[in-house]
Amino acid sequence: MSQGHAFSALAIVASEAPRAQEAAGELAGLVDWVPLEQAEAVVVLGGDGFMLQTLHQMIDSGRVLPAYGLNLGTVGFLMNSFRSGRKLVERINRSRAIAVDPLRMEAFTRKGESHIHYAINEVSLLRETRQTAKIEVSVNEKVRIAELACDGVLVATPAGSTAYNLSASGPILPLDSQLLALTPISPFRPRRWRGALLPDRSRISFRVLDPDKRPVAAVADHKEVRDIAEVHLEIARDKELTLLFDPGHSLDERIVAEQFIA
């Protein structure tokens, strides 16, 4: 994590939401914005969903810029508070940089097709029908659960540990914990298993048991692959992302604070 920058070329992107578009209009004349391909950092106007969308687009394009979010959505967990004014560039240059490593998912379908996607928050395996999913869970090539009967299972990064993972009763992970949360979704067997904390260097694999009767889909953030046979997960250190936060309002502090919310 670092603090203090001197960005000389900034781009701006805004969601299609009316509030974000209005804010983009307010900021249009306050900064000499440049196109994304010429920028050193990008200002993102919208909510957490639009920030994730923007980060994924950068991963897909192969050109990843530091991202400074201004919240025009609801929660704004990945964002800074929106304040219009000429001090925006000063705020950005005083911001703290926090590195976030996404998960790399390689999913193989029952037809043998391979799909590679990245997840900033989590990868989830979910049953496709009313039938309970049955999934074999392996860590570093060793089978840890021969048959997990459940609605699904997920692996969350620290950045995503307060999202779906927390709703599924998974643990909140500090951003610098170097851990991944492996969390079952409505587990039936083993009845007492509530998940695991794994070093983020781990390679996690899932194999769907009886996929004809009990089909399972895999979702990396918002990208879904249906009728899967196997999924392999590991941290993609070559896709490191950088989020910029105002001092005192950074993602690591928000994650710690979430643990004290009743």
DSSP state of 145: E
Of residues 32, 48, 151, 238, which has the active-site annotation? Answer: 48
238 belongs to the catalytic site: no
Q: What is the spatial distance between Cα 33 and Cα 246, in angstroms, rounded to a whole number? A: 20
Task: Give the residue from 145, 151, 155, 101 showing the smallest Cα distance to 124.
Answer: 155
Catalytic positions, written as ranges: 48
